[in-house]
């Protein structure tokens, strides 16, 4: 739809001018004769009518509105814009190059047709998040829907989007109306039929003299409506969706006396049609003006005194579009309000029954920090900053200007972590509204309160084929590089064959009498996960299972995920106590490091790759590639670099032909760095469990109590 707008200096009239087939526009005049070439024509063609003390002008049959005497504003349709779908769709956006006026009434007339199902409007939205309300709707047959929706005192937008329930041929016109009252909607009516004569029907008498009437006729197929008498109209919006064509025409007029209203046209040929109409009350008082406010900046909850005029009948106050429903009208020239939660820097608006007044300058919302939790911690520790005015946070820094990463944020809370290089002192938060510092200092400690331990369990290939073959042409160069850079235990052994007994032993200190991969459980005895949860100060932990369909998935194996490689699901102390929070699908190589630095991150982590990546079905090369993609991010994350952290990569069992059941085991930590291959101590999975329990101060389970199985906790970070 094209719009025509002519601008003159010292504008006094704001006049919508619309003709069938030419589109809607906004004619801006200082006085009629100021139009150079067209001034004489305009004066000759125009005639004025008195509409309840408000002057309206009819130009070649088009009714247009002018300024309201004493109001300093105009009322009527400032502009119209529309759209129609080229094919069936579930949404349609109508756009205008000029944003609608702040505080205007937006009215949308929608026509939807779906030949296979009834498609109705689900809702209307816009970029300013205005609240849209359905005024009236009507269904024609089983295929077509006609509706009118509106948003009163809307924040200005450049487009409006309608969403419908099923794909349909869509047509829509939006009117931007100035000068309506706060309660806007008055009368509605709707009709539908299949004929050449189409009508909205007739409303009951309007409740006041001065109203604007909006009517919409929609039709099936491709027909042409007649020009309606006494109404201004926009461009016909015709959807050309194949086999489902649908169109609509929206018309409007201003009335100066109360009474029933109706709108009808004659279609060029009989068709199914819908007719909807809504009337909207004209403002009975001028909109307010906002001339200033004090202070010019403040936090959420801070008190602001707003000055101007027309505040006696104030119905609303908003800070940059965020409403503050509680305010005090001190006088016609002063309103007091507090900054609402979630407000951002921008203008202040006051509304009354006549419209909205907006400040010419912006109020600055300042951030405020009230609480740090905790107030001390090591590098990498999660920190929650509470306060207000955090919307649009642009930076968080620890004392000395060390920038920290914002994990999540809301207007009242920011989640972050202690960055490397942070020192003791206040934390600062920066937003568009400024920078603020905490009154409390944050103390950076040298060690975490509990260690970080990660176990990664590979499958079946044994020591000889993996770390026993390091060198030129090695199938696992990344694994070999870790063994060389840290500590590789060359005399470490699994307990039995096949897989499941080894998994059970690793977490419980016993094979639980299981000798095959078909053991069912659940077992009633304790295991490592239950120990961590039941500790005097519970130790957060997570067991990540690659390609597991969902958290605590108890329905057996699925694709490359197998339950027999998930030992925690075999014990009641996990199944009955937070399983869905602790036994989780593996988040992937790009997400594992963020998961380890998020609030509440686990101190103990178990990772089981799926059958393709753990070397069980996949090759050694495939497993090595998985290690490089997934372990490298962990080793560079604050979870590991903060210190007191250990990553253990081992294997459930060796080759069945290896009578010693030797398995590769690499310890990655600050204490294990640079030791390379070591043959002592000689140990097994029970020794690994013992070492983990030793690190966390937990009692030994089962055979882990036997020191002859080895204790390698001295190699932990």
Task: Report how far apart, in Å, the C-alpha atoms of 169 and of each of 87, 173, 190 are.
Answer: 6, 14, 20
Output the pLDDT for position 517. 94
Output the pLDDT for position 448. 52
Tokens coding 551: 């958290």
Sorting pLDDT into bands at 50, 70 and 90, what band is 204? Answer: very high
In tens, the pLDDT along 214-234 reads: 999 999 988 999 988 889 998
Q: Which residues pair with 218 in a beta bridge?
A: 248, 274
Asked whether residue 69 carries a pLDDT value surpassing 80, the answer given is no
* Average pLDDT, integer, range 247-273: 94
Output the pLDDT for position 55. 32
Sorting pLDDT into bands at 50, 70 and 90, what band is 65? Answer: very low
Q: What is the distance between the alpha carbons of residues 170 and 244, in angstroms, rounded to a whole number?
A: 10
Where are the chain's structural domains? 5-65, 76-282, 289-364, 368-444, 452-494+511-643+651-682
In tens, the pLDDT along 500-512 reads: 999 999 999 999 9
Sorting pLDDT into bands at 50, 70 and 90, what band is 449? Answer: low
Asked whether residue 48 carries a pLDDT value surpassing 70, the answer given is no
Output the pLDDT for position 28. 32
* Average pLDDT, integer, range 444-473: 88
259 versus 287: the higher-pLDDT residue is: 259
Element (H, E) at 477: helix 477-485
In tens, the pLDDT along 330-352 reads: 999 999 999 998 888 999 999 88
**What dihedral angle (degrees, nearest 10) is formed by the CA atoms of 648, 652, 657, 658?**
40
Asked whether residue 57 carries a pLDDT value surpassing 60, the answer given is no
Mean pLDDT of the chain: 86
Residues in the chain: 717
Output the pLDDT for position 182. 59
> By the 8 A CB rule, do 166 and 117 touch?
yes
Tokens coding 172: 């829509």
Q: Which residues contact 292 (CB under 8 A, 6 or more apart)?
A: 306, 307, 308, 359
**Closest CA relative to residue 370, chosen from 413, 418, 419:** 413
What is the DSSP-derived secondary structure letter of residue 122? E
Sorting pLDDT into bands at 50, 70 and 90, what band is 56? Answer: very low
Q: Where are the beta strands (DSSP E) in 120-179?
A: 121-126, 133-140, 144-154, 159-178
Q: What is the distance between the alpha carbons of residues 493 and 222, in angstroms, rounded to a whole number?
A: 80
* Average pLDDT, integer, range 646-669: 94
Asked whether residue 11 carries a pLDDT value surpassing 60, the answer given is no
Q: Which residues contact 443 (CB under 8 A, 6 or more apart)?
A: 375, 376, 377, 424
Output the pLDDT for position 507. 96
In tens, the pLDDT along 294-315 reads: 999 999 899 999 999 989 888 8
Q: What is the distance between the alpha carbons of residues 114 and 647, in angstroms, rounded to a whole number?
A: 59
Asked whether residue 154 carries a pLDDT value surpassing 70, the answer given is yes
Q: What is the distance between the alpha carbons of residues 285 and 32, in angstroms, rounded to a whole number?
A: 27
> By the 8 A CB rule, do 163 and 110 touch?
no
Element (H, E) at 45: helix 39-45
Asked whether residue 285 carries a pLDDT value surpassing 80, the answer given is no
Asked whether residue 63 carries a pLDDT value surpassing 80, the answer given is no
Query: Any idea which architecture 289-364 has in CATH?
Result: Sandwich (2.60)
**Same topology between domain 289-364 and domain 368-444:** yes
In tens, the pLDDT along 96-109 reads: 988 998 888 999 99
Output the pLDDT for position 477. 96
**Closest CA relative to residue 46, chosen from 67, 68, 73, 15:** 15
The percent of residues in the chain predicted with pLDDT above 70, rounded, is 88
Q: What is the distance between the alpha carbons of residues 692 and 435, in angstroms, rounded to a whole number?
A: 44
449 versus 710: the higher-pLDDT residue is: 710
Sorting pLDDT into bands at 50, 70 and 90, what band is 284? Answer: low
Q: What is the distance between the alpha carbons of residues 371 and 644, in angstroms, rounded to a whole number?
A: 28
Q: Which residues pair with 138 in a beta bridge?
A: 146
Asked whether residue 22 carries a pLDDT value surpassing 60, the answer given is no
* Average pLDDT, integer, range 367-381: 91
In tens, the pLDDT along 624-641 reads: 999 999 999 999 999 999
* Average pLDDT, integer, range 561-575: 96
Sorting pLDDT into bands at 50, 70 and 90, what band is 183? Answer: low
Asked whether residue 35 carries a pLDDT value surpassing 70, the answer given is no
* Average pLDDT, integer, range 53-62: 32
Give the sign of the dihedral formed by CA 443, CA 444, CA 450, CA 454. Answer: positive
Sorting pLDDT into bands at 50, 70 and 90, what band is 16? Answer: very low
Q: Is 672 exposed, middle or buried (0-12, 13-18, 19+ CB in 10 A)?
A: buried
Q: Domain 368-444 in CATH: superfamily?
A: Immunoglobulins (2.60.40.10)
| Pairing verdict, β 262-282 and 232-233 | unpaired
Task: Report how far apart, in Å, the C-alpha atoms of 638 and of each of 114, 380, 633, 647 are.
Answer: 55, 4, 10, 13
Look at the block and give the residue holding tokens 């108890």.
554
């Amino acid at each position: 739809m094209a719009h025509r707008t002519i601008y003159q200096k010292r504008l006094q009239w704001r006049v919508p001018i619309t003709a069938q087939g030419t589109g809607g526009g906004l004619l801006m005049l200082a006085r009629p004769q100021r139009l150079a070439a067209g001034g004489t024509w305009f004066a000759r063609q125009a005639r004025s009518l008195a509409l309840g003390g408000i002057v309206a002008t009819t130009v070649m049959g088009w009714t247009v509105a002018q300024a309201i005497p004493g109001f300093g504003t105009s009322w009527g349709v400032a502009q119209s814009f529309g759209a129609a779908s080229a094919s069936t769709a579930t949404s349609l956006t109508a756009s205008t190059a000029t944003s609608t006026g702040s505080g205007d009434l937006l009215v949308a007339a929608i026509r939807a047709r779906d030949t296979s199902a009834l498609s109705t409007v689900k809702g209307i939205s816009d970029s300013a998040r205005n609240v849209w309300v359905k005024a009236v709707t009507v269904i024609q047959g089983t295929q077509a829907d006609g509706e009118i929706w509106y948003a009163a005192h809307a924040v200005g937008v450049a487009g409006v989007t309608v969403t419908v329930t099923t794909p349909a041929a869509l047509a829509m016109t939006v009117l931007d109306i100035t000068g309506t009252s706060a309660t806007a909607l008055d009368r509605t009516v709707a009709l539908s039929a299949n004929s050449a004569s189409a009508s909205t029907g007739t409303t009951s008498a309007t409740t006041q003299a001065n109203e604007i009437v909006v009517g919409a006729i929609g039709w099936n197929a491709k027909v042409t409506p007649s020009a309606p008498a006494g109404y201004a109209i926009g461009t016909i919006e015709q959807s050309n969706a194949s086999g489902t064509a649908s169109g609509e025409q929206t018309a409007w007029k201003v009335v100066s006396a109360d009474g029933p209203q109706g709108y009808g046209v004659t279609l060029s040929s009989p068709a199914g049609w819908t007719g909807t109409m809504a009337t909207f009350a004209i403002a009975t008082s001028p909109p307010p003006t906002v001339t200033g406010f004090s202070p010019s900046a403040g936090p959420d909850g801070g008190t602001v005194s707003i000055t101007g005029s027309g505040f006696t009948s104030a119905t609303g106050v908003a800070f940059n579009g965020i409403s503050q429903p509680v305010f005090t009208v001190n006088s016609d020239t002063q309103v007091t309000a507090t900054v609402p939660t979630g407000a951002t820097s921008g203008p202040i608006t006051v509304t009354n029954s006549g419209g909205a007044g907006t400040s010419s300058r912006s109020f600055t919302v300042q951030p405020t920090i009230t609480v740090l939790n905790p107030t001390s911690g090591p590098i990498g520790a999660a920190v929650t900053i509470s306060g207000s005015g955090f919307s649009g946070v642009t930076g968080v820094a620890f004392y000395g200007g060390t920038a920290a990463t914002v994990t999540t944020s809301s207007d009242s809370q920011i989640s972050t972590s202690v960055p490397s290089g942070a020192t003791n002192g206040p934390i600062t938060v920066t937003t568009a509204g400024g920078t603020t510092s905490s009154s409390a200092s944050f103390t950076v400690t040298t060690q975490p309160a509990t260690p970080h331990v990660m176990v990664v369990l590979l499958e079946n290939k044994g020591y000889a084929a993996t770390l026993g073959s390091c060198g030129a042409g090695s199938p696992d160069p990344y694994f070999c590089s870790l063994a060389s850079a840290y500590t590789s235990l060359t005399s470490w052994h699994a307990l039995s064959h096949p897989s499941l007994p080894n998994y059970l032993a690793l977490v419980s200190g016993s094979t639980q009498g299981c000798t095959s991969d078909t053991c069912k459980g659940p077992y009633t005895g304790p295991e490592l996960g239950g120990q961590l949860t039941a500790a005097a100060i519970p130790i957060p932990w997570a067991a990540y299972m690659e390609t597991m369909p969902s958290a605590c998935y108890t329905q057996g194996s699925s694709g490359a995920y197998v339950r027999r490689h998930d030992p925690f699901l075999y014990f009641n102390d996990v199944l009955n106590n937070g399983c869905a929070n602790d036994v989780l699908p593996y988040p992937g190589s790009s997400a594992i490091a963020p998961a380890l630095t998020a609030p509440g991150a686990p101190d103990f982590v178990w990772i089981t790759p799926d059958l393709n990546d753990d070397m069980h079905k996949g090759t050694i090369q495939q497993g090595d590639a998985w290690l490089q993609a997934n372990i490298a991010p962990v080793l560079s994350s604050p979870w590991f670099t903060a210190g007191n952290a250990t990553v253990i990569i081992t294997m459930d069992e060796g080759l069945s032909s290896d009578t010693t059941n030797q398995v590769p085991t690499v310890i990655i930590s600050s204490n294990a760095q640079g030791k390379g291959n070591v043959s002592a101590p000689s140990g097994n999975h029970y020794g690994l469990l013992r070492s983990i329990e030793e690190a966390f101060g937990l009692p030994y389970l089962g055979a882990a109590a036997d020191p002859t199985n080895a204790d390698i906790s001295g190699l932990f970070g």
